[in-house]
Structure 1
Amino acid sequence: MSVAGLRRAARETVSGLPREFWWLWTSTLVNRLGAFVATFMALYLTLERGYSASYAGLVVALHGLGGVVSSLGAGVMTDRLGRRPTMLIAQSSTAASVALLGFMVDPVAIAAVAFLVGMTSNASRPAVQAMMADIVRPEDRVRAFSLNYWAINLGFAVSSAGAGFIAEYSYRAGFMAEAAMTLFCALVVFLKVPESQPERTPRNAKGAAAEPEVRLSTVLRDGRFMSVVGLSFVVALIFQQGYVGLPVAMGTDGLSSSDFGTAVAVNGVLIVALQIPATRFIQQRDPRRLLVVSSLLAGYGFGLTAFAGSVAVYALTICVWTVGEIINAPVQSSLVVRLSPAQGRGRYQGMYTLSWSAAALVAPLMSGLVIDHYGATWLWGTCGVLGTVAALGYWVLMRGLPAEEKVTEVVAVTAAEAESDAASGAPQGSVERAV
Structure 2
Amino acid sequence: MIERRTLRRNLRELPPAAWLLFAGTFINRFGSFVMTFLILYLTRRGFSAQQAGAAVSFYGVGGVVASIIGGELTDRIGRTRTITFSMFASAIVMIALSQVNLLPAILVLTALAGLTSEAYRPASSALLADLVPAGQRVTAFAALRFVLNAAFALGAATAGLLAQHSFFLLFVADAATSVVFGLLALVAIHDVHAGRPTTEDQGPGGYRSVITDRVFLMFLIAMLLVAFVYLQSYTTFSLQVRALGFSAAVYGGLIALNGLLIVLLELPLTSWTQHRAPRPVIAAGFLLVGIGFSVVAVAHFLPLLILAVLIWTIGEMLNSPMAGAYVADRAPAHLRGRYQGAWGLTWGVALILGPVVGTSLFAWNASGFWLICGFLAAMGAVLVLLSGRLREASARRGS
TM-score by length of 1: 0.85
* 1:135 paired residue number: 131
Separation in structure 2 between the aligned mates of residue 253 and residue 351 of structure 1, nearest angstrom: 38
* 2:50 paired residue number: 54
**8 Å CA contact retained: 2:91, 2:178:** yes
**8 Å CA contact retained: 1:267, 1:322:** yes
Unaligned runs of 5+ in 1: 204-208, 403-435
How far is 1:150 from its partner?
A: 1.1
Report whether the alignment pairs 1:264 with 2:245: no
Tell me which of 76, 80, 104 is aligned to 1:80: 76
Aligned residue pairs, count = 392
Separation in structure 1 between the aligned mates of residue 244 and residue 317 of structure 2, nearest angstrom: 28
**8 Å CA contact retained: 1:200, 1:343:** no
CA offsets 1:85-125 (integer angstroms, 9 cap, x no match)? 11100011111212222232211111111111111111001
- The equivalences for 1:31-430 within 5 A come to 31-46=28-43, 48-197=44-193, 200=196, 215-374=206-365, 376-401=366-391
Distance 1:343 1:6, change over 3 A: closer
* 2:396 paired residue number: none
Separation in structure 2 between the aligned mates of residue 116 and residue 354 of structure 1, nearest angstrom: 17
Separation in structure 1 between the aligned mates of residue 201 and residue 264 of structure 2, nearest angstrom: 47
* 1:410 paired residue number: none
Distance 1:186 1:201, change over 3 A: closer
How far is 1:340 from its partner?
A: 1.0
Distance 1:202 1:223, change over 3 A: closer
Give the stretch that moved more between structures: 382-391 or 337-346: 337-346
AA in 2 matched with 1:53: A
Q: Which has the higher helix share?
A: 2
Distance 1:79 1:310, change over 3 A: same
**8 Å CA contact retained: 1:70, 1:119:** yes
Separation in structure 1 between the aligned mates of residue 49 and residue 11 of structure 2, nearest angstrom: 44
Distance 1:251 1:171, change over 3 A: farther
How far is 1:392 from its partner?
A: 0.8
Distance 1:351 1:108, change over 3 A: same
Separation in structure 2 between the aligned mates of residue 131 and residue 243 of structure 1, nearest angstrom: 30
Unaligned runs of 5+ in 2: 393-399
**8 Å CA contact retained: 2:295, 2:304:** no
Distance 1:199 1:59, change over 3 A: closer
Which one has the largest radius of gyration?
1
How far is 1:134 from its partner?
A: 1.0
AA in 1 matched with 2:125: Q
Distance 1:34 1:310, change over 3 A: farther
AA in 2 matched with 1:108: P
AA in 2 matched with 1:30: I
* 2:395 paired residue number: none
Separation in structure 2 between the aligned mates of residue 357 and residue 210 of structure 1, nearest angstrom: 25
Tell me which of 18, 22, 25 is aligned to 2:19: 22
Separation in structure 1 between the aligned mates of residue 276 and residue 52 of structure 2, nearest angstrom: 44
Identity %: 33
Separation in structure 2 between the aligned mates of residue 366 and residue 335 of structure 1, nearest angstrom: 29
Separation in structure 1 between the aligned mates of residue 115 and residue 271 of structure 2, nearest angstrom: 35
**8 Å CA contact retained: 2:228, 2:354:** yes
AA in 2 matched with 1:308: A
AA in 2 matched with 1:18: P
Separation in structure 1 between the aligned mates of residue 81 and residue 195 of structure 2, nearest angstrom: 16
| SS at 2:258 equivalent | helix
Distance 1:93 1:212, change over 3 A: closer
Distance 1:286 1:218, change over 3 A: closer
Separation in structure 2 between the aligned mates of residue 202 and residue 70 of structure 1, nearest angstrom: 23
Separation in structure 1 between the aligned mates of residue 186 and residue 228 of structure 2, nearest angstrom: 35
Separation in structure 1 between the aligned mates of residue 28 and residue 179 of structure 2, nearest angstrom: 9
